[in-house]
Amino acid sequence: MADVNRGNRPLSPHLSIYRPQITSVLSIIHRITGVGMSLSAVLIVWWFLAAATSPEYFEFVDGLLTSWLGLLVLVASLWAFWFHFFNGIRHLRWDAGVGLGLSASARTGWIAVILSVAMTVLCVILAV
């Protein structure tokens, strides 16, 4: 039912009006990486279940996960883990009332991104 008393008031602002800021973009990415890690966990459980089922089924699943596409998904999942970890620490600091200013939140956002990329690269190098 439409509000007849709405008058000339503006609509609520939304993503097409706001200019993306580091804090809003990282907040959205934080949520996406949380969901992505859940899906990655399903892949890892599938791999374990395949190992417990039969050698043939394990070979099939392992072949998928170690293909170039599977490795790309696993590296993206690794980055999602590290990003979620460092951005989660950032959120814990905010919960403690630390780093809530605009410059501090932008700086810690970039630190979370840089550390997540660095740790992903380090883990890949150590795994290879």
Residue 54 included in any domain: yes
pLDDT of residue 4: 60
The tens digit of pLDDT for each residue in 98-107 reads 999 999 999 9
Q: What residues contact residue 70 under an 8 Å CB cut-off, 6+ apart?
A: 64
Identify whether 30 is part of a domain. yes
Q: Which domain holds residue 88?
A: 22-127
Q: Which of 25, 36, 22 is nearest to 108 (CA)?
A: 22
Residue 1 maps to a domain: no
Q: Is residue 101 part of a domain?
A: yes
Total count of domains within the chain: 1
The answer to whether residue 15 is domain-embedded is no
Q: Pick the residue with more confidence: 65 or 7?
A: 65
For residues 48 and 113, what is the distance between their CA atoms, to the nearest angstrom?
Answer: 31
14 inside domain: no
- Per DSSP, the residues of 30-80 read HHHHHHHHHHHHHHHHHHHHHHHH-HHHHHHHHHHHTSHHHHHHHHHHHHH
Residue 75 has a CB neighbour count (10 Å cut-off) of 15
- Of all residues in the chain, the percent with pLDDT exceeding 90 is 83
Task: Note the pLDDT tens digit of each residue in 32-53.
Answer: 999 999 999 999 999 999 999 9
Across the range 113-117, mean pLDDT stands at 98
Q: What is the pLDDT of residues 74-89, one digit of tens each?
A: 999 999 999 999 999 9
The CATH number given to whatever domain includes residue 59 is 1.20.1300.10
Mean pLDDT (whole number) for 53-74? 96
pLDDT at 19: 81
- Could you tell me if residue 95 is inside a domain? yes
Q: Is residue 74 part of a domain?
A: yes
